[in-house]
Amino acid sequence: MPQPITQGPEGERMVEYLGTRVVLRVRSEQSGGRFSTVEVWSPKGPAFGPPLHIDAHDEHFYVLDGTVTFQTAAGRWRAVAGSSVYVPEGALHTFANLDPEPSRLLVTFSPGQGFERYFEDLAALLKGVAGMTPDVMASVAALGAQYGVEVKGPPIGPA
């Protein structure tokens, strides 16, 4: 049975790729696999976001700072600080910081299933990469497939 989780910043791990920083706040093993949570810091936009995809888990996004553009099958909209976005398992979606200011998101994955490790692997894959070429996108899609992510299209760009 998992125990209550309390940790300061010293217990967290940060990874970086293409200017984006991801802080691993709660790992799946800490919650008994129930959920994991990361904090995503995006630089001034337009910044890298994930390709259009479907996940094998639910995701909840909370915009802490800035504005983040989300896209689903229903369309595209801008979520400002204080906005909450829920994406159920199997729903087509993506997001990106397309605004001129940095943004910060808190993202929870349920069930956890170790998905936070995807960001560690993504950072290793993109180390030294300057941009998203077709070959790099193919590698990102292959990595995502290992974590239950099915890529359906490219990342979003400015509207």
What is the tens place of the pLDDT at every residue in 105-139?
A: 999 999 998 999 999 999 999 998 877 788 988 99
pLDDT the model gives residue 159 = 53
Q: Is residue 81 part of a domain?
A: yes
Mean pLDDT of 138-154: 94
- What's the CATH code of the domain at 61? 2.60.120.10
Q: Is residue 157 part of a domain?
A: no
Q: Is residue 74 part of a domain?
A: yes
95-122: buried (b, 16+ CB within 10 Å) or exposed (e) per residue?
bbbbbeebbbbbbbbbbbbebbebbeeb
Look up the domain containing 110 and give its range. 11-151
pLDDT the model gives residue 18 = 86
Q: Is residue 156 part of a domain?
A: no
Query: Which residues are paired to 21 by β-bridges?
Result: 16, 41
Q: Is residue 142 part of a domain?
A: yes
What is the count of structural domains for the chain? 1
What is the tens place of the pLDDT at every residue in 67-109?
A: 999 999 999 999 999 999 999 999 999 999 999 999 999 999 9
pLDDT the model gives residue 155 = 87
